[in-house]
Structure formats: C-alpha cells, structure tokens
Structure 1
Amino acid sequence: MRLKLKGLRPFESQLRTGEIAREVNLVWNFCNELSLKVWQPEQRFLAGYNFHPFTNGSSKAGLGLRSQTIQAIGEEYAVRRKQACKVKLPWRLSSPA
C-alpha cells in the first residue's frame, strides 16, 4: 500500500509518515485481535468486508486515517491471514519515537 504526501517538507513528511505507520499498525493489530476473538467461539474466519462494521467511525474518533484506508487495511489483513493459513498473524510493532 503506497501513500503519497504532497506539499510537505522532507522533515514534516517523515514525521507524518511515522504517525501514519503507527496508526496503520494499530488498525492491523485491532483486526488481528478481532479475528482471534471471532475464531475462538465460532471457528470461522472474518473476510475483509466483515471488518467494516467494527471499524466504522474510527476515523471520526481521532484516528488520522481515512475510512477507505482503514477498510483497505482490514481487507489486506484478511488476505494475508488466509495466505499464511494461520488463525493469528504476528503483531505489527512501531519503532519507538
């Protein structure tokens, strides 16, 4: 997934890129945790579109990502989990600032 930041100076774009990376990792880890919680009682996997109701309103709640980006992260998580044939993927960690 590529992100273009136009009109920012190099230092500002690096700061913003770090913030975006942390927020993307937060959404990825949320999808990971939610997928595990659904798997335990129901023994079924969530598809990409199943994450949409759970992430609804998160961009308005203070997350700096657009809703389309959050939905794309959920769909990408579902694809990667299916490719890995695992119930839970490793957590994505952001480097400390």
Structure 2
Amino acid sequence: MARSVNFIWNFVNELSQRSIKELGLHSQTLQRTLGEYVTHRKQFKKARLNWRKVSVGC
C-alpha cells in the first residue's frame, strides 16, 4: 500500500508542476479544481466522472 500511495503522490506532484508551467495555472486553481472533482465524485457516488465538455466558439 505504501508504494501505491507513493505513486499517487508522485503523480499528483508531476501533474501539479506541469499544470503550473505548461498551462500557466496557479496552484490554487489546481487545488480548487481537484477539490471540486472530489466533491462531485462523492455527491454522485461514482468512481469516475464524465469528461467536461467545453464549447469554444470561433
């Protein structure tokens, strides 16, 4: 179980670094987004949520 937790820690750390550098997001934006994700998973009692669909008009 320790290896699994370590894997998740490293994954989230890497994702955080990429989000900040490549996407130009602030760390608080990432934290809030993940918080919303967890809240909705619990609310809808699902292990996985559907992708959000964003329509971009040109």
- What range is the shorter-chain TM-score in? 0.5 to 0.7
Structure 1, unpaired ranges of 5+ = 1-41
- CA-based RMSD of the aligned residues comes to 2.4
Q: Which has the higher contact order (CA 8 A, sep 6+)?
A: 1
| 1:69 partnered with 2:29 | yes
Give the number of the structure whose residues are more often helix, by fraction.
2
Structure 2, unpaired ranges of 5+ = none
Q: In the alignment, residue 74 of structure 1 is paired with which amino acid?
A: L
Which of the numbers 42, 59, 74 marks the counterpart of 2:20? 59
**TM-score normalised by structure 2 residue count:** 0.63
Q: Give, in angstroms, the shift of residue 59 of structure 1.
A: 1.0
What secondary structure, in the 3-state scheme, does the structure 1 residue paired with 2:20 have? coil
**TM-score normalised by structure 1 residue count:** 0.41
